[in-house]
Amino acid sequence: MNTFGNRFRLTTFGESHGPAIGGVIDGCPAGLAVDYVLLEAEMTRRHVGAHATTRHESDNVEFLSGIYDGKTLGTPIAFIIRNSDARSSDYDALDKLLRPGHADFTTLQRYGIRDPRGGGRASGRETAVRVAAGAIAKMILNGKGIGITAMASCGTPAENDSIGGTIECTIEGVPAGLGNPIFDKLNARLAAAMMSIPSAIGFEMGTGFDAAQMQGSEFRDNWCVSDGHVATTTNHCGGIQGGISNGMPITFRTAFHPVVTIPQPTECLAPDHTLTTVTPAGRHDRCHLPRTVVVVEAMAALTIVDFVV
Ligand SMILES: Cc1cc2nc3c(=O)[nH]c(=O)nc-3n(C[C@H](O)[C@H](O)[C@H](O)COP(=O)(O)O)c2cc1C
């Protein structure tokens, strides 16, 4: 529900306008030197970007446990990131109203209660916690020669509107043999990781949906062996076959729909099931893709590290 991973586990907590968001990492090996420069750089990548919210959070990660003298202890690593620039009054008009396209209605159906301020738990703010944990995962993976890079592709949002886009990610240095053949496929885990990011709407590995139009002779990745190293001449499958990594770069793309809270008259659902038109206030991303690149990398790191610790 709020925990990701089996061996390297991240539990996240906190709402967008509560005092803090945070996480607990369990299963991080002892003795890892914490690279605070990398951590801060990753946090900065998430909170700046073109067309981003004007909410300014310092996103300082405060560790409460699990680290001593700059090294991990092997015990649970708990941390918080304070919400210091929340402006909850922006949500007064939306207190009982449910926006179209957001998680307001479904959250209410699930729990019977919700925190309307800033999207509560469904806010993109929660992804800051994943980035902090992902930075720790990356520190482990860097030591094993595994590198993760992603990039966004999106258009320019129109005046008072928003736009979505896609983020392409490549994981290099993953040895052949990671993953499982049936219910715990590496590609299935990556899909679950990516689809857990708010506003993710599609996922494809390698050539992805285009492969549905290809012939088998085009699609199959032919062998090429040099100096005893087994590789393939193409990588249509995205580096995973039968749920298990084949040693080629792992490549995948995630599509994100546009942010739905836009400063335009919006028909919201009232408790008596009437529609009320309001123009939502609040500082929303017009396109969150540039900020979400590091979130994709963090979720990829959390997925891979779970197989290698
Ligand atoms: C980094 C990031 C920032 C986001 N910012 C906003 C925002 O400012 N306003 C908004 O309505 N949705 C924003 N979203 C999307 C919502 O969080 C998301 O649409 C909502 O949780 C509903 O989930 P779903 O779209 O996956 O169904 C953001 C998502 C991410 C990843």
Evaluate whether 174 touches 146 at the Cβ level (below 8 Å): yes
Q: Taken in order 61, 1, 110, 275, is the CA torsion positive or negative?
A: positive
Residue from 59, 110, 285 to probe ligand 1 pocket by mutation (most atoms less than 8 Å from CB): 285
Q: What's the predicted TM-score (pTM) here?
A: 0.98
Q: Which pLDDT does position 282 carry in this prediction?
A: 83
What is the rounded CA–CA span in Å between residue 128 and residue 134? 10
* Residue 28: its H or E element: none
| Ligand 1, pocket residues at CB < 6 Å | 53, 102-103, 119, 122-124, 127, 197-199, 259-261, 284-285, 288, 291-292, 295
* Residue 237: its H or E element: none
The 10 Å Cβ neighbour count of residue 19 is 12
Q: Which pLDDT does position 293 carry in this prediction?
A: 98
| Distance in Å, CA 123 to ligand 1 centroid | 6
Residue from 56, 201, 259, 297 to probe ligand 1 pocket by mutation (most atoms less than 8 Å from CB): 259
46 CA: nearest ligand 1 atom: 1
Sheet bearing 165-172, strands edge to edge: 147-154, 165-172, 250-256, 200-205
* For ligand 1, atom 27: residue with the closest CA: 199
Q: pLDDT digit of tens for each residue in the chain (309 aa)?
A: 999 999 999 999 999 999 999 999 999 999 999 999 999 999 999 987 778 888 888 899 999 999 999 999 999 999 999 999 888 888 888 889 999 999 999 999 999 999 989 899 999 999 999 999 999 999 999 999 999 999 999 999 999 999 999 999 999 999 999 999 999 999 999 999 999 999 999 999 999 999 999 999 999 999 999 899 999 999 999 999 999 999 999 999 999 999 999 999 999 999 999 999 999 988 899 999 999 999 999 999 999 999 999
| Distance in Å, CA 152 to ligand 1 centroid | 16
* Residue 40: its H or E element: helix 36-47
Evaluate whether 285 touches 225 at the Cβ level (below 8 Å): no
The 10 Å Cβ neighbour count of residue 94 is 23
The candidate with the shortest Cα–Cα distance to 259, out of 161, 173, 139, is: 161
Domain 3-308 - what CATH class?
alpha beta
